[in-house]
Amino acid sequence: MAQAHVGRSFVHYDRAPIVETVLGVQFDRLRGFCNGHLGAFWKTLDAREWPSATDAPPLPPQFERFIREVQWVKGLQIHFSQDPSSRLQIRNRDNDRMIQVQRDRLHFNWLGQTGADYPRYEKVREEFASVLRRFMEFVRAEGLGPFCANQWEVTYLNHIPKGTIWNTPRDWGFFSPLGAVPSIPGLVEGESFAGEWHFVIPENRGRLHIKWEHGIKSETEPNEVVVLTFTARGPLENAIDDANLILEGLDLGRKTIVESFARLMNEDANEYWGLKYVNS
């Protein structure tokens, strides 16, 4: 396992297994906001850079609360609603960026499934900040405000294919919370595993959620892959029309994710991906 480095600034990987990064903010529902505003916001963007959009079901609200009664509510939750609201997914012409907007969320995705190199968090953060400020200005211009953010969110989606740092589930000990999938000699052999872990960020500033899945990449690419998703979320208070508080939350989420990733991997995995500790 990677050890903490005193005085280091941040974790850097030369060949990180990241295939998608999502930076997002959840906010109180805007008064008078309807699906028509989604298209109106799209039209404020450069049509040559953001030429296509599709509808998707809205994401349900998520709140990281820190009272005892909600610690065990995780798991299957079914939501029924008559609300016809939608989520608009706007893609850029290179198909490596996506803006997602709905009545109470704004997300910005870097999409690496096309094989593009990860541009690093600082670049994605800068692009998210630009979209966020444009959306906040749209809210003001349309008289929909105030824009009151209540939660920040960061997600890193990692693909770890078979044949890289693992070949069978017995090799999954590279990830310390899991270890090797056990077998019973002469009776059964470990084949797969799926699971989740949840951690509190100190001083109740948020939570880190880790999800492990094992399957095939796609029908056209039947190679086995471990999908390891790190999501950090945290509450925001008094973040009314304040982009800086949102960005500070995202910075905390990113730091939590990348440092946890490094410390939960063994030395061989970190060496394979080119772990470095970079000074500011």
Question: Is pLDDT above 90 for 116?
Answer: no
pLDDT digits (tens, 9 = 90+) for 28-46: 999 889 999 999 999 999 9
pLDDT interval class at 81 (50, 70, 90): very low
Q: Considering only CA atoms, which of 268, 263, 265, 264 is closest in space to residue 8? A: 263
Joined tokens for residue 138: 């749209």
Mean predicted lDDT score pLDDT of the chain: 90
Residue 79: what pLDDT? 46
End-to-end CA distance of the chain: 23
pLDDT at 73: 53
Please determine, for residue 145, whether its predicted confidence score (pLDDT) is greater than 90: no
C-beta neighbour count of 187 within 10 angstroms: 6
What is the C-alpha separation between 269 and 153, in angstroms, rounded? 26
Closest CA to 66 of 195, 229, 211, 237: 237
Confidence check: pLDDT of 91 > 50: yes
Tokens of 106: 């704004």
The pLDDT tens digits of the residues spanning 60-76 come to 999 998 876 555 555 54
- Indicate the pairing of strand 10-13 with strand 275-278: antiparallel
Phi, psi at 171, each rounded to 5°: -90, 0
Helix (H) or strand (E) holding 277: strand 275-278
Candidates 179, 199, 239, 235; CA nearest to 62 is 235
pLDDT computed for residue 1 by the predictor: 39
Interval 6-35: pLDDT, tens:
444 578 999 999 999 999 999 999 988 999
Phi, psi of 179 (to 5 degrees): 75, 180
pTM listed for this prediction: 0.90
Higher-pLDDT residue of 183 and 217 is 183
Calculate mean pLDDT across residues 203-223: 90
